[in-house]
Structure 1
Amino acid sequence: MRSRLPLGTIFGTGRSGRLRPSSDALLLGIGIASLLLLVGIGSTLLASTLGVWLGGGPPPQRLLVVALLLNLALMLLGWNRHQAQRAAAQAQEAAEEHARALAAPDPLAILLDRKDFASEGAAMIERAGRSRGAVALLLIDLDHFKAINDMHGQPAGDVVLRHAATAMIETMPPGSRIARMGGDSFACALSIAPAQPAQIQRLAERLLARLSQPVDVGGLRCQVTASVGVACSGADCPSIKALMRAADIALYTAKRNGRDRFAWFDRSMERELHSRNDLEEALRIAIPQGQILPFFEQQMDLATGDLDGFEVLPRWQHPARGLLEGESFLPLAEDTGLIADLSLSLMRQAFDAARDWDPSLCLSINLSRCQLRDAWLAQKILKLLTETGFPAHRLQVEITESALFDNLPLAQSIIGSLKNQGVRVALDDFGTGYSSLAHLRALPLDRIKIDAGLVQSMADSADATAIVNAIARLGESLNLPVTAQGVPNEAVEARLRGIGCAKAQGLRYGPPLSTAGVRRMLAERRQLVARPAPDAPAQPPLDLTNQRLVG
């Protein structure tokens, strides 16, 4: 069992919170004497008063009345003095133990564990209820802590954890309880006045600033941030269990909103979480049941005006909510790891649907950040191409710049394996976020796609027009054709054609079409061909056995 100072006594009154025995004995003696005097005088006055009411008795002596009032005043003063001394003793004890905690050689060793923290937190809530106060709980997670362990090793991670523990001990006021909940998760609880939420807000801001300070790890400067969820006890959180759940929901919100911040719990977060959980459960059912369908957005050749191909977009045919666009479920699929199965299902359907289209038409498929962490992604895509008979040279995969940052060498290897089989690669949403010439040099790209937001802003923004024009000139100098996304109308299309964009897509050419809608359109244009016979391969088999292992 590890050695650990009792943090229940380090921060606050200790488990008993008692004063020194000599002070307790003196105050107890004064209290008993005052109580006996009160009983004696009070009984005498009560008898005299009853005699007067019944008629015939002498009135109470004024001296006894004065003595009774003085005795009551003495008892009140004694009680107030007792409370003041008790509070002073508790504050002194907390300050002394706080100082010892700061001087501890290993700050992690003095933190409470989850079980002790729950016990201490329950006691704090009980005391706060009696004094009409409240307890604030802060749940803290270090952002991207796993990357520190992976890049610099576990000893470096331990240094960062000790830095975080020291920051909390130094920032939290005496009387707080601090615990390590496990891994890189911590919790802090403190008593507050219910009408002073600004106090907690300032404390959370100071804690975030302190945690984000660089740490020296064997000559390397590591910097980590934290996400904090904050909740207060009250009618909504009457127990430590409810309080911890509320703070955990708030912590999830802080992470989802970008990390390196804190979030206060409110009931709308809980409703949103329930809705998200319901959606996740439905999505896990929807993917294997084929409810996620491919829709196809037309891509046009601006020089000829001909149809050049389609970008595949996911739609969810929800049994209760109808047809849902990707924005309503793709972020959830990314967060839960369902995006890999969803994307492969979408590819299979799209490849199968496009086998009998005109051979000049290509398909564009988006690859997510999560998929680019899969060292076997290229093999999975090539396997789908072989099974469906869709030619690899008609496929273009699109990767956003931000997705490259997770692991650029792995992304290069995946793209190289795909290009070896004829698959083309486009850099998606260029012009936003992490735009860099280094990406254009590091990857064997075939095309640049300009972000739809920039294209749509061309109608009323000279700056957006200048940026789009610069990207088109850059693509021309690097011999990379440029596709403009989100073209809204004919006027913007004319500008894009004038600055040299090769292809365009967007509502200017109609909304995305279902598989049946595309077939009707292609049939009218005589761009459907006979499907190959099942026993005749549509293309030479891809060499999957000699593919190098990606990663």
Structure 2
Amino acid sequence: MTAGNIAFRDEAGESEQQIDVVALGIVTAAILMFVATGSEVGPRVVDSLLDRGPGPDNFILNAFLLNIAIIIFGWSRYRQLSAEIRLRRASERQARQMAQTDPLTGFLNRRNFNERVDKLIDTAEGNGQAVVLIMIDLDNFKQVNDFNGHSTGDVLLRECSHRIGASLPKHAVAGRIGGDEFAAAFAFDKSRDETIDQIATGLVKAISESTKINAISIEVTASIGLARSDVPDVDGRKPDALALLEMADIAMYHAKRQGRNSFFWFEGVMADEMRFRNELEMGIRQGIPRGEFLPYYEQQIDLQTGELTGFEMLARWDSPHFGLVSPEIFIPVAEDIGAIAALSESVIRQALEDAKDWDPKLGLSVNISPVQLRDPWFAQKLLRMLVEANFPPHRLEIEITESCLHQNLPQARSLITSLKNQGIKVTLDDFGTGYSSLAQLRSLPFDRIKIDRSFVTSLIENKDNAAIVHAIAMLGKDLELPVTAEGIESSEVLKHLLQYGHIKGQGYLYGHPRPAGELSELLREHATSPIRSEPVAVAAPAPDKASPVPAGIEPAKDAHAAPRHASQA
């Protein structure tokens, strides 16, 4: 036990050790005195009992009995101190474990994970192996917390940690790096890369399996990045744990931009993409208050009469650093960094100021992002913007993408009802590309449905798209819902759409989206002669002029990860 006490190096531990030594000394002395007095008292007690002589001296007898009491007391104290030391050791082990691990999942925390990975790299190099680090980020985890509460989110995190642990080799090191970010590392044979791909595929599959929590089915996927210790880091040096984390993190974000629910190995070009993305993020955050995001307007036409009926507002970023940046680039980034609501509200405010001076017969159509749809106060915010701009609510039309309904139908229903109560029209945008059922379409009080441009643009060459356009047009007619077709880029497409009667359309055939300053001539023409005899044939638009963009900075390939909204082309 004395050897065990050496492990305690704090003041309390040293005090306990000293007390323990004193207790042992007292017990030892008492035992020696017990032996000495016992040798004197014992024979006399026996002689007294056998009537062969007088009993022991009272002083010696009392000393003997005192020795017995001291031995009992000392042994009791010895056992008590031993129990206290064992309890202290257990408490220290528990405190050490809590300091090293995440209490929710039991995985290592970030600091201790890095330390273990550094040791793993050193060991692997000595054995001729490499270390792979896997970064795992749960897609849309924030939505789970927002919609279902943090307790449900905690249960989901624990479930995902179980699945991650079950999918990794037994010798792997696992850690929770952030709120919904996990990491794992293990050594592997350099000649068996395919083994790592199989493990990563298994992780993606395991995490994507539906989870039922409190009778609610929770769907979540994972974006995974992988990096290996025998590949140089972004600075061309041998990577340590921190460098591997950075490399895997870059690969993970690449997986998110490529549609999520997948994995990618780190490649050097990804670092350039990440630097460019960081510049974009900073530019977006700074550009919103500076007014760099501007509303552009695309004409909406009554196809039968050729009359201009209004404009759809689209956003453009006129960046002093990048030039005119394509919305397909800055929209997904703004969504990822949580700036899309502020960006969208900024251009909506400008559009309301522009449109209030137009002919009162002209409407203004704007799209809202999924983030705004999840905001329970968005309807009130929009009403305040209308009041500040003195813009009539009946001239405003809000477009909600079909994929937004799938994310939170009750919230969408509440928002649509609030908007319509204020006199604002609501359109179901990109119809046919999402998950809406006819039952949902009838249960939600939409004022209009919009056929997605992906069907309209190629309906002449693609019979399937032509059939979809026909079905949607007939559905709108039967449900008495007005229809708008977007993506009209040729007279052949226009001629085809004219067979469906009174529908609206928009597209490059009627002109490119333009800023408010370039609409004056068009608005004067509309004021004097609102009926347009023929559309103006316009060539396909040239790409937005912007700084060179790395290959990985592109729109998300998952149609539901970056829905079309007010700030998108």
Does the TM-score normalized on the shorter chain lie above 0.5? yes
1:51 alignment partner in structure 2: none
Q: 170-179 vs 185-194, which deviates more? A: 170-179
- Conservation of the 8 A alpha-carbon contact between 2:133 and 2:186: yes
Instruction: Describe the shift of the 1:501–1:432 C-alpha distance in structure 2 as closer, same or farther (beyond 3 A).
Output: farther
- Conservation of the 8 A alpha-carbon contact between 1:522 and 1:528: no
- Conservation of the 8 A alpha-carbon contact between 1:357 and 1:528: no
Match of 1:208 among 200, 204, 211: 204
User: Counterpart amino acid of 1:246?
Assistant: M
Q: 346-355 vs 519-528, which deviates more? A: 519-528
Instruction: Describe the shift of the 1:118–1:409 C-alpha distance in structure 2 as closer, same or farther (beyond 3 A).
Output: same
1:498 alignment partner in structure 2: 499
2:382 alignment partner in structure 1: 381
1:178 alignment partner in structure 2: 174
Instruction: Describe the shift of the 1:218–1:294 C-alpha distance in structure 2 as closer, same or farther (beyond 3 A).
Output: closer
**Aligned to 1:329, what secondary structure does the other structure show?**
helix
Instruction: Describe the shift of the 1:189–1:398 C-alpha distance in structure 2 as closer, same or farther (beyond 3 A).
Output: same
1:231 aligns with 2:231: no
1:122 alignment partner in structure 2: 118
- Conservation of the 8 A alpha-carbon contact between 1:488 and 1:508: yes
> 1:508: how far off?
0.8
1:367 alignment partner in structure 2: 368
1:78 alignment partner in structure 2: none
1:433 alignment partner in structure 2: 434
Match of 2:130 among 131, 134, 137: 134
Q: Provide the rounded CA distance (Å) in 2 between the counterparts of 1:109 and 1:427.
A: 41
User: Counterpart amino acid of 1:319?
Assistant: P
- Conservation of the 8 A alpha-carbon contact between 2:139 and 2:223: yes
> 1:478: how far off?
0.8
Instruction: Describe the shift of the 1:338–1:183 C-alpha distance in structure 2 as closer, same or farther (beyond 3 A).
Output: closer
User: Counterpart amino acid of 1:423?
Assistant: I
> 1:298: how far off?
0.6
> 1:210: how far off?
3.5
> 1:113: how far off?
2.8
User: Counterpart amino acid of 2:242?
Assistant: K
**Aligned to 2:497, what secondary structure does the other structure show?**
helix
1:510 alignment partner in structure 2: 511
User: Counterpart amino acid of 1:207?
Assistant: L
Structure 1 or 2, whichever has the larger Rg, is: 2
- Conservation of the 8 A alpha-carbon contact between 2:297 and 2:513: yes
- Conservation of the 8 A alpha-carbon contact between 1:369 and 1:404: no
> 1:281: how far off?
1.0
Instruction: Describe the shift of the 1:161–1:193 C-alpha distance in structure 2 as closer, same or farther (beyond 3 A).
Output: same
Q: Provide the rounded CA distance (Å) in 2 between the counterparts of 1:219 and 1:371.
A: 28
User: Counterpart amino acid of 1:363?
Assistant: L
- Which runs of no fewer than 5 residues in structure 2 stay unpaired? 1-101, 531-569
Instruction: Describe the shift of the 1:405–1:200 C-alpha distance in structure 2 as closer, same or farther (beyond 3 A).
Output: same
**Aligned residues: CA RMSD:** 2.6
User: Counterpart amino acid of 2:522?
Assistant: M
2:559 alignment partner in structure 1: none
- Conservation of the 8 A alpha-carbon contact between 1:314 and 1:325: no
> 1:182: how far off?
4.5
2:190 alignment partner in structure 1: 194
**Aligned to 2:519, what secondary structure does the other structure show?**
helix
Instruction: Describe the shift of the 1:328–1:159 C-alpha distance in structure 2 as closer, same or farther (beyond 3 A).
Output: closer
- Conservation of the 8 A alpha-carbon contact between 1:300 and 1:504: yes
User: Counterpart amino acid of 1:497?
Assistant: L
2:67 alignment partner in structure 1: none
Instruction: Describe the shift of the 1:327–1:144 C-alpha distance in structure 2 as closer, same or farther (beyond 3 A).
Output: closer
Per-residue CA distance 1:268-309 (angstroms, 9 max, x = gap): 222111111111111122222221111111111112111111
- Conservation of the 8 A alpha-carbon contact between 1:254 and 1:263: yes
Q: Provide the rounded CA distance (Å) in 2 between the counterparts of 1:221 and 1:282.
A: 39
Q: Provide the rounded CA distance (Å) in 2 between the counterparts of 1:420 and 1:218.
A: 34
User: Counterpart amino acid of 2:333?
Assistant: L
Instruction: Describe the shift of the 1:426–1:130 C-alpha distance in structure 2 as closer, same or farther (beyond 3 A).
Output: same
Any residues of structure 2 matched to 1:52-67 within 5 Å, and which?
none
1:484 aligns with 2:485: yes
1:240 alignment partner in structure 2: 241
- Conservation of the 8 A alpha-carbon contact between 2:105 and 2:157: no
Q: 150-159 vs 400-409, which deviates more? A: 150-159
- Conservation of the 8 A alpha-carbon contact between 1:424 and 1:446: yes
TM-score (structure 2 length as normaliser)? 0.69
1:338 alignment partner in structure 2: 339
**Aligned to 1:459, what secondary structure does the other structure show?**
coil
Q: Provide the rounded CA distance (Å) in 1 between the counterparts of 2:169 and 2:410.
A: 46
- Which runs of no fewer than 5 residues in structure 1 stay unpaired? 1-105, 530-551
- Conservation of the 8 A alpha-carbon contact between 1:472 and 1:500: no
Per-residue CA distance 1:225-281 (angstroms, 9 max, x = gap): 433221101232521110011112222222333333222111222211111111111
2:289 alignment partner in structure 1: 288
User: Counterpart amino acid of 1:167?
Assistant: R
- Conservation of the 8 A alpha-carbon contact between 1:122 and 1:239: yes
1:475 alignment partner in structure 2: 476
> 1:109: how far off?
7.0
- Conservation of the 8 A alpha-carbon contact between 1:356 and 1:528: no
> 1:362: how far off?
0.8
- Conservation of the 8 A alpha-carbon contact between 1:292 and 1:314: yes
**Aligned to 1:312, what secondary structure does the other structure show?**
strand
- Conservation of the 8 A alpha-carbon contact between 2:226 and 2:266: yes
TM-score (structure 1 length as normaliser)? 0.71
Percent of aligned pairs with the same residue? Answer: 47
> 1:219: how far off?
6.7
Q: Provide the rounded CA distance (Å) in 1 between the counterparts of 2:245 and 2:211.
A: 29
Per-residue CA distance 1:370-395 (angstroms, 9 max, x = gap): 11111111122121222212211111
- Conservation of the 8 A alpha-carbon contact between 2:454 and 2:487: yes
User: Counterpart amino acid of 2:359?
Assistant: D
Q: 349-358 vs 212-221, which deviates more? A: 212-221
Tell me which of the two structures has the higher relative contact order, counting C-alpha pairs closer than 8 angstroms and 6 or more residues apart. Answer: 2
Aligned length: 424
Q: Provide the rounded CA distance (Å) in 1 between the counterparts of 2:123 and 2:134.
A: 19
**Aligned to 2:487, what secondary structure does the other structure show?**
coil
- Conservation of the 8 A alpha-carbon contact between 1:484 and 1:501: no
Instruction: Describe the shift of the 1:501–1:126 C-alpha distance in structure 2 as closer, same or farther (beyond 3 A).
Output: farther
**Aligned to 2:459, what secondary structure does the other structure show?**
helix
- Conservation of the 8 A alpha-carbon contact between 2:485 and 2:504: yes
Instruction: Describe the shift of the 1:111–1:280 C-alpha distance in structure 2 as closer, same or farther (beyond 3 A).
Output: closer
Q: Provide the rounded CA distance (Å) in 2 between the counterparts of 1:249 and 1:376.
A: 35
> 1:322: how far off?
2.8
Q: Provide the rounded CA distance (Å) in 2 between the counterparts of 1:194 and 1:135.
A: 9
2:520 alignment partner in structure 1: 519
Per-residue CA distance 1:329-365 (angstroms, 9 max, x = gap): 1222222222222222212211211222211111111
